[in-house]
């Protein structure tokens, strides 16, 4: 089903996935309007008409996602909301109140705005981290939406994303002001990579400082299945098309879907090497410390952080929860999204890797210059 004539709202439109989503919508659909919602929208995004062959109206809404009146204005007359905006933090750099305010309260306010403004479809960008891994590091290999897994989430980020996902799915079927019904679903992408990925840039910068040797924080056997940003955007579009289909709407609504592609399973550290080796980077054969000693060091840093909290705030670059995530085999299948949403990865692993390497190559001189300065 096409979204022809729809008014679509994209929150987090200035971010990594948000920009790709906007571009895909302008390239693929004959929309009446697309609304770019973010705290700040970069000047180049205001010129998105350059991508658009169908002269879709592009509107910019700059504001705070915790502002209900602002969200109602952004949603007025819209048909579909792609809720991509969130705060991401796995090292404890952001206060929990800030994470909760943006990730949970912002989502709740946006759902309420959709109900008040009669938006019929809501697609929430969740995260693989709402599934785990648990503190024990119990593995999942090629898991599905039906995989049973006992998990007590430790990351504040994971907990807020899980709560926002729960509220989104719970809102499926809510009665709109005009008597219609809201349909919602959530997508759980694996670790997203591709052009614009700030995490890859961060690892590259660390490698430059370490004489072009990438740090190893993951054991080789701790395989995960990253997913290319272009395929994640496509999954969102397919979800919107499916929710717009009266025959599929009731079956899909209220469900979550894992989103992956055919990127080969590999550890987080080895994935960094796969996309940076062509640029001349090597990787440590083993972590700097044995894993158990690494955990102990993280524990001591956490104690130090608590002791110093009344006087100074320190944020260690790694903690026990992050170390567990980096060293737990945790991979999932996208077959349910394929069956029910009609999702099929558009970009092969070879093309996704090539595009990512080309982008990293374009950033490398800037990173070297920045670090030298």
Please name every residue paired with 186 in a beta bridge, in sequence order, or none if there are none: 124, 256
Q: Using the structure block, give the residue that is written with the tokens 């001189």.
A: 365
Of these residues, 154, 161, 248, 286, which one is catalytic?
Answer: 161
Instruction: Return d(Cα 140, Cα 138) in angstroms, integer.
Output: 7
Contact assessment for residue 70 and residue 64, using Cβ atoms and an 8 Å cutoff: yes
Residue 34's closest CA among 6, 1, 14, 15?
6
Residue 259's closest CA among 225, 232, 228?
232
Instruction: Return d(Cα 118, Cα 40) in angstroms, integer.
Output: 26
For the question of residue 366 being annotated catalytic, the response is no
Residue 334 to residues 164, 257, 274, 276: CA-CA distances in angstroms? 22, 7, 22, 26
Sorted by sequence, the CB contacts under 8 Å of residue 191 that are 6+ apart come out as 128, 224, 226, 227, 268, 271
Catalytically active residues are 161
């Amino acid at each position: 089903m096409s979204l022809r004539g729809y008014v679509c709202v994209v929150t987090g439109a200035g971010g990594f996935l948000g920009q790709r989503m906007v571009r895909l919508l302008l390239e693929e659909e004959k929309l009446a309007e697309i609304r770019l919602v973010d705290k700040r929208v970069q000047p180049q995004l205001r010129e998105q008409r350059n991508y658009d062959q169908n002269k879709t109206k592009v509107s910019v809404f700059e504001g705070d996602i915790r502002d209900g009146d602002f969200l109602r204005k952004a949603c007025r007359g819209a048909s579909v909301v792609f809720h991509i905006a969130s705060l991401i933090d796995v090292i404890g750099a952001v206060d929990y109140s800030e994470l909760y305010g943006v990730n949970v309260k912002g989502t709740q306010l946006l759902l309420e705005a959709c109900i008040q403004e009669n938006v019929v479809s809501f697609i929430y960008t969740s995260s693989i981290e709402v599934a785990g891994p648990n503190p024990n590091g119990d593995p999942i290999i090629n898991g599905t939406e039906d995989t049973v897994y006992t998990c007590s989430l430790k990351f504040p980020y994971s907990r807020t994303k899980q709560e926002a996902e729960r509220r989104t799915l719970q809102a499926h079927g809510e009665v709109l002001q005009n008597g219609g019904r809201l349909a919602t679903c959530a997508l759980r992408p694996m670790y997203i990579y591709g052009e614009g990925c700030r995490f890859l840039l961060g690892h590259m910068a660390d490698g430059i400082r370490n004489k072009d040797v990438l740090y190893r924080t993951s054991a080789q056997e701790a395989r995960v299945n990253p997913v290319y940003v272009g395929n994640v955007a496509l999954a969102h579009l397919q979800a919107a098309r499916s929710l717009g289909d009266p025959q599929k709407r009731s079956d899909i609504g209220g469900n979550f879907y894992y989103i992956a592609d055919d990127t080969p399973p590999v550890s987080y550290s080895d994935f960094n090497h796969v996309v940076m080796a062509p640029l001349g980077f090597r990787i440590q054969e083993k972590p700097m410390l044995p894993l158990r000693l690494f955990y102990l060091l993280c524990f001591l840093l956490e104690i130090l952080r608590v002791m110093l909290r009344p006087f100074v705030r320190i944020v260690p670059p790694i903690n026990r929860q992050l170390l567990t995530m980096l060293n737990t085999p945790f991979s999932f299948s996208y077959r349910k999204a394929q069956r029910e949403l009609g999702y099929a990865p558009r970009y092969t692993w070879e093309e996704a890797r090539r595009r990512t390497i080309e982008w990293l190559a374009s950033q490398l001189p800037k990173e070297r210059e920045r670090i030298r300065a």
